[in-house]
């Protein structure tokens, strides 16, 4: 598990959740693929289309199924005012085989804040940064008001410090019961998403990013033809415009009526409201299996971004 920079106003060291795929977890995911009804029922009950809410629901389901979840969206109040909300309290380490309370209480307690983000690297911004800001300021959301630096500052300075406050500790101890007092409550960031790199310039990865993080490219609308030309391939390829619910994982499809050729892609990205960023995936035909598989994706951004 990686480490994020320490907050110097406190003595807490933050963990970065980088959970690996163990054989047990892989087996559980395969079983979920074959019997997804419980997860589908959970997701169908959501009253929001926001990706962040969807992402939190996936993590809540996972932690419940692994018998790790202690509390979710735990509101912390003090003197009649709300200090904040803890996304997750959970026990580290899966305990699917023996989910008894006795075995649960032996595992360390984690305070986790969860977020899914999609940031684009802006080289011109990076060049102007001072070294003490890492390079987070150079990673900007499709909505230019959102930056990795702002998100990390909010997460490290506000969200993950909440469980260190006395009112939060008292409420957590009340949940745990008299048999247990918090000793080493570990703050952890669950950060997922994708970083998009400029297709025509080199740019270093964000500081502390997982070396295996999901990647993509980005281009301006007026660079789209140049970007398409740069992706020549001997294999048969087409493009797929991704809906928001498809932003998380790589996509596959057997329905080639959804696919666009180069000219259709250009018309799609330039039609209507030019202020709308769009994510598209380059799909490669897999003739032996009669389906199309994603090989890369790209954010097509309005020409005025991030201005």
Q: What is the pLDDT of residue 7?
A: 55
Residue 282 near residue 294 (C-beta atoms within 8 A): yes
Q: What is the pLDDT of residue 274?
A: 64
Total-model pTM: 0.87
SS3 194: strand
3-state helix, strand, coil in the chain (%, to 5): 35, 30, 40
44 CB contacts (<8 Å, ≥6 apart)?
none
What is the pLDDT at residue 181? 64
Give the chain's largest Cα–Cα span.
67
How far is residue 120 from each of residues 154, 204, 229, 235, measured CA to CA in Å? 19, 12, 21, 28
Averages of pLDDT over runs of 10 residues in the chain (307 residues) are: 52 68 90 95 91 95 94 94 95 60 68 96 67 76 92 93 92 79 82 95 90 95 95 86 91 93 92 80 89 95 89
Which of 2, 1, 12 minimizes the C-alpha distance to 159? 12
What does the pLDDT read at residue 55?
95
Q: What are the sequence ranges of the domains in the chain?
A: 2-116+130-192, 217-301
């Amino acid at each position: 598990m990686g480490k994020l920079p320490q907050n110097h106003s406190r003595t807490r060291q933050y963990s970065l959740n980088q959970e690996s795929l163990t054989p047990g977890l892989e087996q559980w995911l395969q079983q979920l693929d074959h019997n997804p009804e419980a997860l589908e029922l959970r997701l169908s009950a959501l009253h929001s289309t926001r990706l962040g809410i969807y992402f939190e629901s996936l993590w809540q389901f996972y932690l419940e199924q692994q018998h790790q979840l202690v509390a979710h969206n735990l509101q912390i109040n003090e003197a009649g005012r709300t200090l904040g909300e803890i996304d997750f309290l959970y026990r580290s380490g899966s305990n699917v085989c023996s989910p008894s309370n006795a075995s649960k209480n032996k595992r360390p307690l984690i305070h986790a804040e969860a977020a899914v983000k999609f940031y684009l690297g802006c080289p011109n911004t990076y060049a102007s940064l001072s070294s003490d800001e890492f390079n987070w300021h150079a990673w900007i959301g499709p909505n230019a008001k959102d930056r990795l630096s702002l998100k990390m500052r909010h997460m490290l300075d506000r969200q993950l410090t909440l469980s260190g406050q006395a009112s939060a500790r008292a409420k957590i101890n009340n949940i745990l019961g008299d048999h247990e007092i918090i000793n080493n409550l570990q703050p952890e960031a669950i950060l997922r998403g994708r970083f998009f790199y400029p297709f025509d310039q080199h740019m270093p990865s964000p500081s502390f990013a997982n070396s295996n993080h999901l990647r993509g490219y980005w281009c301006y609308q007026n660079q789209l033809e140049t970007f398409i030309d740069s992706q020549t391939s001997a294999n048969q390829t087409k493009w797929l415009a991704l809906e928001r619910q498809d932003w998380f994982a790589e996509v596959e499809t057997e329905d080639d009526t959804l696919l666009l050729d180069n000219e259709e892609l250009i018309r799609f990205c330039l039609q209507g409201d030019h202020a709308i960023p769009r994510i598209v995936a380059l799909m490669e035909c897999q003739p032996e299996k009669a389906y199309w598989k994603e090989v890369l994706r790209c954010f097509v951004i309005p020409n005025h971004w991030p201005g």
